[in-house]
Chain A
């Protein structure tokens, strides 16, 4: 089963 990524891996915290 594919693993779900986390959005904060792509978008930086501001």
Chain B
């Protein structure tokens, strides 16, 4: 059986809020290492990969591999019934029909119990190779969100160009063009504003802004975001969570006509 207790419901609320417009039904794969999810959007352009390691939970117990097939819309409805600070416990049997959620207020004076009916989901699973990326950019997640939102007002796509010490986000639209450049920046006083660009070779790739704006819904999960790029491979956008857990998005690049 599965029993996983989260100190703060907000983590799961934010994860589901961040991915539910991209994927609708997905399996939460539970085993003794934690709870994982991999799902592609309908157009096969973007992929969500979530890993909540067992250390994220306290306690965490899962004796067997259990796949919880959940409709994310339903999941969100139930998670909205939890306060952000509530303690959240997920429970399921070994061959479950439902997943149970228990929300406890931090003062322990209220306990809410919900069940969500599970679905059989036959999901395509992609093998994602370990990639040595040519460029890895770490930047404030809010900054990345702003850039994507601003440029999406002008254009459907953005070119991300990484070169030594600088990354440039460039768009060309009907009403005009836009470009935002960021350079390596490190401050002891405000480390949350740091920008770090690691580069082994220059990279320039074009991506759909609609998807990037969608990924940025995860900004509340982490103060920083990591963008990993190599020429002619999908972009990795990673939000690191506590205990080596993560929420990752992959986006296929656009190719020239």
Contacts and interface: CB of A to CB of B under 8 A. Distances in A.
A11 to B, nearest CB: 4
Contacts of A7: 40, 44-47, 126, 234, 250, 252
Contacts, number: 57
Interface in A1-14: 1-14
B181 to A, nearest CB: 21
Contact of A5 (B40, B45, B126): B45
B47 A5 contact: no
Nearest to A1: B257
A13 B252 CA distance: 15
Interface of B: 40, 43-47, 124-129, 156-157, 206, 208, 233-234, 250, 252-257
Contacts of A6: 44-45, 252
A11 B127 contact: yes
A11 B126 contact: yes
A2 to B, nearest CB: 4
A6 B257 CA distance: 15
Given A8-B44, A11-B250, A12-B126, 4 more contacts: A2-B256, A5-B255, A7-B250, A13-B126
5 tightest Cβ-Cβ pairs between the two chains A and B: A2-B254, A5-B252, A11-B126, A14-B127, A14-B125
Nearest to A7: B252
A1 B256 CA distance: 7
Contacts of B124: 13
A11 B73 CA distance: 27
Nearest to A3: B255
Given A7-B46, A8-B44, A10-B234, A2 B157 contact: yes
A1 B156 CA distance: 9
B123 to A, nearest CB: 11
